[in-house]
A and B are shown apart, each in its own frame.
Chain A
Amino acid sequence: MGEVHRMNDPPADLDDQALLIGIVAGDEAALEEVVRRYHARLWRYVSRRVSGDLALIEDVLQEVFLAVWHGAARFRGEASVAVWIFGIAHFQTLHALRTRQRGADIIEFPEEDSAFAPVIPSAEDAALRRIHLMEALGRLSPAHREVLDLVCLHGFSMQETGEILGIPPGTVKSRLSLARRALVAALQKGARS
């Protein structure tokens, strides 16, 4: 009794969880604070998924925060609030993309044996390192780009990234590894050409 009670979550997440408790109690101000904390990060995340389509980004974020408002009671504290919200954003984005495609061309994320989409002949100014990198990144599959973003931009661990995307951490690891090798290989190829 009264022994050490350790925290597994950083202080920021404890504050986030307190906000979810407020949301469950019907406190709209708590929802506003969640929006203020996550809006810019989620905008950046969703923007990359939908190629900067402003209307679609706004639609997705509306759905994400409505889902937070309605679903806060289902948050069980097993992952951080950030992981939970990004997981919602991931699936809302997929749903929005599928709706936009009207079912004719459903977005399917390829598995890790194909880090690259079909290779497009490189541009004539291949000597430029930056352009090569952009090209290489652009040729990565959406699934590989998304894993890279979550880890390298948003700072999620492999475990957390797996929870957001609903895939095993091992898959996250292999996608990261393939993406890294593909980008480095593309850069080396550009340097030789």
Chain B
Amino acid sequence: MKASCASFRADLPRYVAGTLPAERRESVAAHVATCEECRAEASEWQIVVQAVALAHPHETPPAVAMPDLLEYLHQHIVSEHQRESIMNAANSSSDQNGAEHVAAGRSPRTFPRRLAWGAIPLTVVVALLLVALFLWNAVGGRTSSGGRTVMPVSCHAVRSDAVLQAISFDTSTDGWAGGYYFTNANGTAPPPTDILQAFTPFMAHYTGGCWHEVTLPASPQCGRITGVAALAPDEVWATCGIQPPVGQGIIVDGYIGASFLHLVHGAWQIIPAADGGELRAITMRTATDGWAVGDDAGNSTTNAFAALVFHFDGTVWKPADDPAFAALSLYAIAATSAQDVWAVGTDERGGGFDGNSPGVVLHHTASGWQREPVQPTGGRPEAIAMLSSTQGWAVGAISGGTSPSGGAILSQPGKAAFFQRNTSGWEATQTFLSPDGANPYQLKDVALRSPANGVAVGTGGALFRLSVTGWTSVPSGTGQDLYAVTVAPDGTYWAAGAGGTILSFP
């Protein structure tokens, strides 16, 4: 038996039974065709599968079985509801868990359940849990994410002044994180002026052990890495910008232009994309279908914004144009198919980044780009992850007001917000105040494994996990701003942010 047979042997029973997933079937068939030993074993499995199929021929449920079961379940739920209504009347405990459920994005519970806990005041339970959490962190100093350990990467060569804004994995042991660090000609940290000279793009590479800095080509067209999409160990796309991240408190007066960075066959290439503006995000659905978005930084005369949208067809990045892009600044993009593409950003009709710019979601289908409104007013999605055309989340913030006037006007959002699509657009269905209740709280990125398993990250080390009950804040173990999160093919989440922070957790 050849060593390479081991992985195929495990699939032989399902291959013979015809239940092996289609994407695996071809490779097993090809192997069996060339491997005599596996072919012999497959023949034996045919005997087994035949025996199993013949063993119990009369196993179809009676016609009344399912209706009876549904009726039983319905009656059970109704009686449960009645019991709990009686208990509710006796115990008028309030429900609070730190998260605000906003508006109608979450359907009302038809049958409130499991209120046996009503015998114990909920506030007492919450208080005990908080005390337990405090003691756990104080004693062990460990951090957890939904009961799991969050592991800061300890064996890496990522400089501590790096600000990582994007992360992407093409395999479980091949990941890329990009961003920038401040520097000047002397290599020392500059004052936060003269920004155009101060950025140096930064890229780190993970190959299964540690993260290591990689050398990028020096170019005035790439001040910082804003988005990364890894396709294969020897093919990576990234977007470059030259201005500081939105909301970082630094505004520059001029723009050099947007560009792509492409690693192919071991060499990095700079591909200029636009004379002005900046690209902020990239997604590569396949090697021949990619999207990148940003904005044109505003017309120098009218200050009117327009979104930059590029599509890659396998050969060249082509600028897309659509009336829906008018006045928009886009921050993130996601695609589930060639005709199901999503982008999020803000409408900068008011002049740009004043904190009151309405948030928007753009949806690209076979009929073109459609603009979808975001509620409530002040809601600003900054990232989006979609699993299908109907399942996904956008994350960002809901503005808490505007910053002091004069000079640059900064975004000053209030609460971290999770947006879900409904029939009229996108609506914040969960919002969270910052832990201290005073500082702005923004979500910067989101990644989903499934509708009930996701991670969102944001400012101040914000880390949220999605379960069937919704989003819950969990400790990340860092106070650094986290700007990017992704899920590797093995299901591991990786997050990156300021201070050269890289986290991984299951």
Contact = CB atoms under 8 A, between A and B. Distances in A.
Interface stretch (B126-134, B162-170, B397-405): B162-170
A65 B51 contact: no
A113 interface: no
A151 B383 contact: no
A26 B468 contact: no
B422 to A, nearest CB: 14
B385 interface: yes
B2 interface: no
Contact of A3 (B73, B228, B386, B452): B228
A66 B114 contact: no
Interface string A16-35: 01101111111110011001
A3 B231 CA distance: 10
Given A14-B391, A58-B65, A6 B51 contact: no
Contacts of B328: none
B108 A26 contact: yes
Nearest to A44: B59
Contacts of B280: 1-2
B74 interface: yes
Contacts, number: 233
B59 A26 contact: no
Contacts of B445: 1
B14 A148 contact: no
A127 B292 CA distance: 68
B450 A10 contact: no
Contacts of B55: 48, 134, 137-138
Contact of A40 (B13, B58, B61, B332): B61
Contacts of B56: 44, 47-48, 52
Contact of A1 (B51, B166, B284): B166
Contacts of B487: 5-6, 8
B221 interface: no
A26 B111 contact: yes
B383 A2 contact: yes
Contacts of B382: 1
Contacts of A189: none
Given A76-B146, A153-B17, A134 B281 contact: no
B172 to A, nearest CB: 11
B217 interface: no
Interface of B is mostly: mixed
A36 interface: yes
Contacts of A35: 66, 69-70, 73
A39 B66 contact: yes
B453 A10 contact: no
B47 interface: yes
B10 A158 contact: yes
B469 A24 contact: yes
A137 B52 contact: yes
Contacts of B483: 1
A9 interface: yes
A20 B470 CA distance: 12
B452 A6 contact: no
A180 B45 contact: yes
A183 interface: yes
A2 B47 CA distance: 49
Contact of B227 (A2, A78, A134, A181): A2
A164 interface: no
A7 interface: yes
A13 B108 contact: no
Residue of B73, B106, B109, B382 contacting most chain A CB atoms (<10 Å): B73
Given A27-B110, A43-B61, A66-B73, A153 B334 contact: no
Nearest to A73: B469
B47 A183 contact: yes
B65 A43 contact: yes
Residue of A22, A62, A152 contacting most chain B CB atoms (<10 Å): A152
A154 B444 contact: no
A7 B282 CA distance: 18
B324 to A, nearest CB: 18
Interface in B261-302: 280-285, 293
Nearest to B444: A1
Given A58-B69, A76-B146, A134 B51 contact: yes
Contacts of A62: 69, 72-73
B44 A180 contact: yes
Contacts of B58: 52
B107 A155 contact: no
A97 interface: no
A85 to B, nearest CB: 14
A145 to B, nearest CB: 8
A9 B449 contact: yes
Contacts of B230: 3-4
Interface of B: 10-11, 13-14, 16-17, 19-21, 44-45, 47-56, 58-62, 65-66, 68-70, 72-74, 76-77, 106-114, 146, 165-168, 226-230, 280-285, 293, 331-334, 343, 382-388, 391, 444-445, 447-453, 467-469, 483-484, 486-487, 489, 491
Closest 6 CB pairs of A and B: A155-B19, A77-B453, A2-B281, A26-B109, A2-B332, A133-B51
11 contacts: A1-B280, A2-B384, A4-B486, A21-B451, A25-B107, A25-B110, A76-B452, A133-B47, A151-B13, A152-B19, A180-B45
Given A25-B108, A52-B56, A155-B17, 15 more contacts: A2-B333, A3-B227, A4-B283, A5-B447, A8-B489, A10-B21, A21-B452, A28-B111, A39-B61, A47-B59, A54-B62, A76-B467, A134-B54, A152-B48, A153-B53
